Amino acid sequence: MAAMRRRQEKFRRSQMQETREKVMREVILPETITIQELSQRMSERAVDVIKYLMKEGQMMKPGDIIDADLAELIAGEFGHTVKRVSESDVEEGIFNLADDDGEMVSRPPIVTIMGHVDHGKTSLLDAIRQTSVVSGEAGGITQHIGAYQVEQNGQKITFIDTPGHAAFTAMRARGAQATDIAILVVAADDSVMPQTIESISHAKAAGVPIIVAINKIDKHEADPQKVRMQLLQHEVFVESMGGEVLDVEVSAKNRVNLDKLLEAILLQAEILDLKANPNRTAEGVVVEAELDRGRGAVATVLVQKGTLAPGQIIVAGDQWGRVRALVNDKGEHVKAAGPATPVEILGLSGTPLAGDKFAVVENESRAREISEYRQRLTRDKAVARASGQRGSLEQMMSQLQSSGLKEFPLVIKGDVQGSIEAIIGALDKLGTDEVRARIVHSGAGGITESDISLAESSNAAIIGFNVRANVQARQAAERAGIEIRYYNIIYDLVDDVKAAMSGLLSPERRETFLGNAEILEVFNITKTGKVAGCRVIEGKVERGAGVRLVRDNVVIHEGKLKTLKRFKDEVSEVPMGQECGMAFENYEDIRAGDTIECFRVEHITRTL
């Protein structure tokens, strides 16, 4: 009975076309939303929204995602008001919180050591710390950013060591941005070099005061005065030249004047009057990140404000985690890290990118929300970039045919994020418009089976930088016949890739002009066809070389010679001034007065 009554009621309503009371709502719109979700928020039927879109000439399904502009238009059409929220609001109130001036206390200066490769940056730092980092470096090259803390006269100084060679531009720039003072190490026997200049420009771009350390003064060919003169060209005016920049002559090897250098740093720090508030939530910057086998994701961070303690929840880039432990540069566990302290953090969900900002958040759900939002951003960017490059298959094919661009796919695994970034930067520079390296995947940590399967599906080579493949990955690579190459010096890696990519370049066709002959008369010979009686007027004509027939300065045929005769004999070449008979292969249209040009073609392998 009830069903019956309902049906009658419905019928009566439809007869009267009675409309329900419409409720106007304030609809909250994120940056993207599905049509289904939008109609729910407006409490309209999805069908009506789709009908409206069809009227506007757009065919869509309820599951389709639309952007905020279109959603706002639809909501307006249905008579609702709109409040737009941007997804980045989840990040509000974490970074750059205002500090209370009353709570500010002075903090140690953060000093970055920069300069050209092999000018003794790490040795100088070792001499200051009285330890030995250098001996552990491959090929004597720093390939990571290291952060250390030193105490002088009861005052602490934080040092950041950056690599000095061309590949590590981004790392140097990052070092300069996180710091208060840059120490420019210049070898007295080598003076100003390309990366010295680059370091100066990084420091200037970051607005960081420079202290010049003229190293290696113990060498007999050392010329500190020359260094000072050369620095003038790059607008670094040292005090002895009437400028403002402090300079100290040091020798890392013999530990000369190191205390002077530290005093210069403290003096500069005093002028800068560096302060920070230790009694607030910590934030800072990730200097380096790696995957450690025993400890998981380890990030070396520099706390810039506040105090970081174990047990706090942090977000670093698109990763988050609860701080399991803080380890200082000497490998000791610490209970708290105040402003300007470098520490390693254990307990993150994955490796953040070097240069990412990190901050402490109040709870896990907030951390997860921010981290998911950022991962989505990273993914969207990657997808947008890839679709920009990839496009459809036809586009790709036509692009390959028209531009002949060859790609050299690589999977790169390194020990830390900074090195990977440097490798990718160096490989990008290798590319030409014909061949380029395509990085299928890169990441910190050892080589795993999933890397092998990825390399297999994309025909890529695998490069390990300071990392090794695990047993399963090795076996999988052997099965798939994929080569894994290990390196510990970035230059060797770049050179090898360069050599491999050179193999993909199509050989260069080089043409050498041999000579010209003029056709004097054309004979028709029964079995051979037309033969040109010629005189060589320039250079020589060779048999087996390429020939072109030129009439009125227009090339009308290009091919090979069938015969080359002097009198009755076949000859291999005819020199200038002599007469000969020539016949072309598969070509008959020759006339008296034409010129025959003879040339040789060589194919030369090219290098990048």
Reference 109, options 178, 207, 203; nearest CA is 178
CATH of the domain at 483: 3.40.50.10050
pLDDT number for residue 137: 47
Query: Do 306 and 400 fall within a single domain?
Result: no
Query: Do 227 and 332 fall within a single domain?
Result: no
Average pLDDT over residues 191-216: 82
Q: Is residue 96 part of a domain?
A: no
Residues 494 and 425 sit within 8 Å (Cβ to Cβ) = no
Query: Do 296 and 311 fall within a single domain?
Result: yes
Q: Is residue 514 part of a domain?
A: yes
Q: Is residue 384 part of a domain?
A: no
Q: Is residue 129 part of a domain?
A: yes
Residues 466 and 143 sit within 8 Å (Cβ to Cβ) = yes
Reference 45, options 67, 78, 15; nearest CA is 78
Within 56-193, where are the H helices?
Answer: 68-77, 121-129, 169-177
For residue 542, the enclosing domain spans 508-604
Average pLDDT over residues 10-17: 74
Question: What are 141's two structure tokens?
Answer: 């090259």
Distance, CA of 149 to CA of 343 (rounded, Å) = 10
Count the neighbouring beta carbons within 10 Å of the beta carbon of residue 349. Answer: 16
Query: Do 141 and 223 fall within a single domain?
Result: yes
Q: Where a domain ends, among 275, 298, 314? A: 275
Query: Which run of H or of E encompasses 484?
Result: strand 484-487
DSSP β-bridge partners for residue 565: 570, 581
Query: Do 159 and 260 fall within a single domain?
Result: yes
132: confidence class by pLDDT, cuts 50, 70, 90: very low
Average pLDDT over residues 229-244: 82
pLDDT tens profile 313-328: 999 888 899 999 998 8
Query: Which run of H or of E encompasses 367?
Result: helix 364-390
Query: Which run of H or of E encompasses 151?
Result: strand 146-152
CATH of the domain at 365: 2.40.30.10
Site of tokens 């050599």:
499
298 φ, ψ to 5°? Answer: -120, 125
Average pLDDT over residues 132-148: 53
Query: Do 330 and 358 fall within a single domain?
Result: yes
Q: Is residue 3 part of a domain?
A: no
Average pLDDT over residues 232-241: 82
Query: Do 399 and 483 fall within a single domain?
Result: yes
AA letter at 14: S
Q: Where a domain ends, among 487, 502, 517? A: 502
Higher pLDDT, 175 or 310: 310
Question: What are 109's two structure tokens?
Answer: 């200066």
Distance, CA of 367 to CA of 91 (rounded, Å) = 10
Q: How many domains does the chain have?
A: 5
91: confidence class by pLDDT, cuts 50, 70, 90: low
Look over the chain and give the mean of its residue pLDDT values, rounded to a whole number.
Answer: 81
Residue partners of 406: CB distance under 8 A and separation at least 6: 434, 435, 436, 504, 505
Q: Is residue 383 part of a domain?
A: no
pLDDT number for residue 544: 82
* Radius of gyration of the CA atoms of the chain, in A: 36
Count the neighbouring beta carbons within 10 Å of the beta carbon of residue 198. Answer: 19
Q: Is residue 31 part of a domain?
A: yes
Bridge-based pairing state of the strands 573-574 and 546-551? unpaired
pLDDT number for residue 95: 65
Q: What is the DSSP letter of 593?
A: T
pLDDT number for residue 535: 93
CATH of the domain at 194: 3.40.50.300
Query: Do 125 and 195 fall within a single domain?
Result: yes
Reference 280, options 122, 431, 421, 104; nearest CA is 104
pLDDT number for residue 171: 60
Residue partners of 311: CB distance under 8 A and separation at least 6: 322, 323
Query: Do 263 and 186 fall within a single domain?
Result: yes
Q: What is the pTM of this model?
A: 0.61
Query: Do 160 and 209 fall within a single domain?
Result: yes
pLDDT number for residue 536: 92
Query: Do 170 and 262 fall within a single domain?
Result: yes
pLDDT tens profile 453-483: 888 888 888 999 888 888 888 888 888 888 8
DSSP β-bridge partners for residue 221: none
Q: Is residue 100 part of a domain?
A: no
Query: Do 326 and 259 fall within a single domain?
Result: no
Q: Where a domain ends, among 275, 304, 320? A: 275
Count the neighbouring beta carbons within 10 Å of the beta carbon of residue 353. Answer: 18
Question: What are 30's two structure tokens?
Answer: 């994120």
pLDDT number for residue 125: 80
Q: Would you say residue 402 has pLDDT above 60?
A: no
Half-sphere exposure of 367 (CA within 13 A, CB side): 19
Distance, CA of 110 to CA of 16 (rounded, Å) = 79
